Amino acid sequence: MDHVISGVAKFQKEVFPEKKAAFKKLANGQNPEVLFITCSDSRIDPNLVTQTEPGDLFICRNAGNVVPPHSNQTGGMTASIEFAVAALGVTHIVVCGHSDCGAMKGALAPEGLTALPHVKEWLGHCRVATEVVKEKCGCDSLNKDDHLQLVTEENVVQQLQHLRTHPAVAAKIATGQVQLHGWFYNIETAEVLSYDEKTGEFVPMDSSFATEEALVANK
């Protein structure tokens, strides 16, 4: 904890003075372009990976980068998504999964989550991903690492589908004001894959993606 506390002091003394004008502007409001939904995993730093500054991303994090389907029951994710889209006016939503995801490991082996009942229930939102991969590829034919990556990628696709059930998101998609993006981030290599709706595959992302239309069809 000491290094965390000393980090605050370093931020105040060294980092903040260089960006004082930017923070002064941010003190009076925010105008992020992107809602970035990713895992709570401590190894993921959205601003570092995307090289963005404070105010650029509206970040929502939870175990497994889950987006529960819309319902009449209010939850933190539902409220945050609605606020980002309807109040802040974000124009892009990214759902980003990652390699070696503990939540996806749990989704693949729910019988091991008996002592974590809330985690087990939460990961029920990922069951579709495990079933889709099982149906498409089988389990016996896959090695452990490939199986985990396929489920992690499929989970991103399913959470994008869940996003479309949220009224605020659906309305903005229908009018072309919001685009959806599905990403997979490899911690070890820094590679980022982007979901291509046309092919149904995750493909390497490079600088050309910055000027292309969203790869996920806004249906």
**120 contacts 114 by C-beta, under 8 angstroms:** yes
pLDDT digits (tens, 9 = 90+) for 206-218: 754 554 444 444 4
The CA-CA-CA angle for residues 65, 68, 73, to 5°, reads 140
- Tokens in use for 119? 């985690």
Can you give the residue ranges of every domain in the chain? 1-30, 31-211
Contacts of 46 (CB under 8 A, 6+ apart): 36, 38, 52, 57, 59, 96
pLDDT digits (tens, 9 = 90+) for 128-165: 999 999 888 866 677 889 999 999 999 999 999 999 99
Binding residues for Zn(2+): 39, 41, 98, 101
Report in angstroms the alpha-carbon separations of 124 from 61, 64, 120: 17, 11, 7
Using 70 as the pLDDT threshold, list the residues of the chain that sit under it.
Answer: 138-140, 207-219
The model's pTM is 0.91
What's the fold here for domain 31-211? Beta-carbonic Anhydrase; Chain A (3.40.1050)
Binding residues: 39, 41, 98, 101
DSSP for 143-206?
Answer: -HHHHHHHHHHHHHHHHHHHHTTSHHHHHHHHTT--EEEEEEE-TTT--EEEEETTTTEEEE--
- Tokens in use for 95? 């759902």
